[in-house]
Structure formats: C-alpha cells, structure tokens
Amino acid sequence: MVPRTVVRDDELALEMLRKPEMPLDQLAVLAPSPTARSIYRAPGIRFEPNEVRLKSYGPEEVVVDVTTGQEGYLILSDVYYPGWRAEVDGAEVPIERANYLFRGVLVERGHHTVVFKYDPQSFQTGLKVTLASLGVIFATLILLGVAQLRRRSSGMV
C-alpha cells in the first residue's frame, strides 16, 4: 500500500523510477488513464499503518486482505497485462499500470478484500467462436442425416 501517487507518462515514470532515492514504499507512479488518481500528501506526515495480507496466490487469481487508515493504492508486483480484472469487496474497480510495469488498485480507508482475476477477452471470444462452430457442425450433421433418411425412404439410396 502506498499513500501517495503521481500520474506520469512512461518516459517521466522511468526517469523517476531510476532514481535510487525514489521511496517506492510511499509513492507510486501511475500511467495516464481516465481513472488514475494522483494522491498528494506532504512528506513527513505520519501515516496510519497498513496491514496487507496475501490470502491466496494462483496463476489466475490473487486475493489480498487490506486494512488501511487512509486511501491509497495497493501495488501488486506482478506484471500489468491485459485480461486482468480487479474487485474490491465484490465491486469491480479499474486496474492502473503502476511503476511502469506493475498492477495497482485504489483502496479506500478501512478493511477490504481485493481480488485480481485473470479473465482475458480473447478467451471469451474464442469460447464463443468455438461454440458457434460446434453449433454449425452439429446442424450440418443433422441436416445431412435428415437428407440421408429422406433418400432412403424414397428409395433413392
């Protein structure tokens, strides 16, 4: 959990992240997006302690319990990749690209369960195409069977 964020394009983000004094435990750099938020808090202000506990970690689902005294971004140090979705307490939230290549979600003050699920659109599209293809194949087989039966019943075998 980081209590401060800035929104920067990739070039400026990399420039910031290259600096050894970059406080990655206090500040995340988010890629520009319609939902990315800069959160400013003056350095030196004491922050409420955060408790972040990994409940489960699998290739297609990550579950994290978060208790935080202030809003901030939960940064998961897994590669940002299309197809991941996130929910906070069951409500879908946008995933931001954080620190150039990681995933981050905004978490409000309080106790929350954050779930990251891999559910790529390509899989859904592939499933629909496969089911439609199977439907066409079965319909064709049925029509060929009906035509064969008609030919047999009319004596045209």
Instruction: Say what the pLDDT of residue 94 is.
Output: 97
Whether residue 67 sits in one domain with residue 135:
no
Instruction: Say what the pLDDT of residue 60 is.
Output: 93
Q: Which residue has the tokens 């990749």?
A: 81
Q: Residue 140 belongs to what domain range? A: 121-157
What does the pLDDT average to over 4-15?
A: 94
pLDDT: which is higher, 47 or 141: 141
Q: How many domains does the chain have?
A: 2
Whether residue 141 sits in one domain with residue 87:
no
Whether residue 76 sits in one domain with residue 39:
yes
Inform me whether the pLDDT recorded for 139 exceeds 90.
Answer: no
Whether residue 24 sits in one domain with residue 83:
yes
Confidence of residue 76 (pLDDT cuts 50, 70, 90): very high
The pTM score is: 0.73
Q: Which residue has the tokens 């997006």?
A: 33
Inform me whether the pLDDT recorded for 104 exceeds 90.
Answer: yes
Whether residue 35 sits in one domain with residue 95:
yes
Whether residue 79 sits in one domain with residue 108:
yes
Percent of the chain at pLDDT > 90 equals 63
- Calpha distance 22→50 (Å, rounded): 20
Instruction: Say what the pLDDT of residue 102 is.
Output: 97
Whether residue 85 sits in one domain with residue 45:
yes
Whether residue 77 sits in one domain with residue 32:
yes
Whether residue 131 sits in one domain with residue 115:
no
- Among 119, 134, 149, give the residue marking a domain's end: 119
Instruction: Say what the pLDDT of residue 56 is.
Output: 97
Whether residue 32 sits in one domain with residue 89:
yes
Instruction: Give the 3-state secondary structure of 15-83.
Output: HHHHCCCCCCCCEEEECCCCCCCCECCCCCCCCCCCEEEEEEECCCEEEEEEEECCCEEEEEEEECCCC
Instruction: Say what the pLDDT of residue 122 is.
Output: 63
CA distances 11 to 39, 60, 149, Å, are 20, 30, 69
What does the pLDDT average to over 104-131?
A: 83
Whether residue 127 sits in one domain with residue 151:
yes
